[in-house]
Amino acid sequence: MNRPEPPVRPAVRVTVGQLSVTDDRAANREAVQDAFAIAERARADLLVLPEYASSFDPHGVGEQHAEPLDGPFVQLVRACAARTGVAALAGTTLPGPGDGRAVNAVVGVDGTGALVGVYRKVHLYDAFGHRESDRLVPGPADAPPLVLEVAGLRFGVMTCYDLRFPEQARRLVDAGADVLVVPAAWADGELKALHWRTLAVARAIENTCAVVAVGQAGRGVVGRSLVVAPDGVVGLELDERPGVRTVDVDGAALAVVRERNPSLANRRYDVVPRGVERLADPDASR
User: What positions carry a catalytic annotation?
Assistant: 51, 121, 160
Q: What residue type is assigned to position 105 of the chain?
A: A
Nearest in space to 236 (alpha carbons), one of 221, 218, 248: 248
Query: CA 90, CA 19: separation in Å to the nearest integer?
Result: 11
